[in-house]
Amino acid sequence: MNFVQLFKDGGPMMWPLLIAALVGLAIIFERMIVLHRMPSAKICEKQLNDIEDVLVKGGLEAAAQKLAKGKGVMNYIFARLIKRFDTLLTERRDLEQRRTELAGASVQAVDPVTKFLASQQEVAEVREELFVTIDDAVKGYVSKFLPALNTIGSIAPLLGLLGTITGMITAFASIAAAGTGDPKVVAGGISQALITTATGLIIAIPAVVTYRYLAGKADQSRSGVELYAVSFANTLIAMLEKSK
């Protein structure tokens, strides 16, 4: 079978179908490698202990520098958490400074109960922000490009159908111009219609099946690393409570 000739006979819609197929293959290959390299529980625990040790001894800046030199899902999540935590601390300091400036000399003493409740509310807000960051970071790492693969699986049959329609238009235009006496007049248009339909299905079926497999694999990997990400977030929150 001459695939080059089939590609030419398929008409102009074969080009977007080819692009969709190449992009889909690239995504599948990349995601297979990433999900295959997800660390085991033992490695995750070691990375957690290492970064917490650096955090306790050197602070946020030392931990951020260590994470900048590493790679992998745990480094990525820990770095996101530290960046978000540092941003929250900066916002907190800025807010307190502005409150002091606006209050000026009229600042009144706050009773211990009110101060404690405000402190707990602040910690709860930071915890919520960090947990949202964990969800976004883990999902962004393990599920990256999977929505694009799902889209390819959905649009490939539609591109094939569009090629079918353009092929039938070509066939009917040939009939209108030359009549129905010679089957060769409509053969080109019908051939184009069938080739694009088959190509769209050939691309879509593996794309959808592989997407389901990779999505399930991503969910398994996600649950495996979230535990250690939450533990690190709790360490950051403990640092915040200790500083109060």
Q: What is the mean pLDDT of each run of 10 residues along the chain (244 residues)?
A: 77 91 96 92 92 90 89 92 89 72 54 53 84 92 94 94 82 63 58 86 96 93 90 89 68
Pick from 25, 20, 24, 17: which is nearest to 162 by CA?
A: 17
Alpha helices in 104-183 (DSSP H): 112-142, 146-178
Q: Which helix or strand (DSSP H or E) is residue 42 part of?
A: helix 41-69
Are 13 and 160 within 8 A, CB to CB? yes
**Rg of the Cα atoms in the chain:** 29
CA distance 175 to 181: 9
Measured distance CA(213)–CA(39) in Å, rounded: 19
- Predicted local distance difference test score (pLDDT) of residue 107: 46
In this structure, are residues 134 and 77 in contact, taking their beta carbons and an 8 Å threshold?
A: yes
Q: What is the pLDDT of residue 104?
A: 57
End-to-end alpha-carbon separation of the chain, Å?
Answer: 74
Q: For position 189, what pLDDT does the model report?
A: 63
Rounded to whole angstroms, how far apart are CA atoms 229 and 77?
A: 7
pLDDT at residue 158 in the model: 94
What tokens appear for 79 in the block? Answer: 């770095």
Give the pLDDT score at 243.
66
Q: Report the alpha-carbon distance of residue 185 to residue 171 in Å, rounded.
A: 7
pLDDT on residue 141: 93
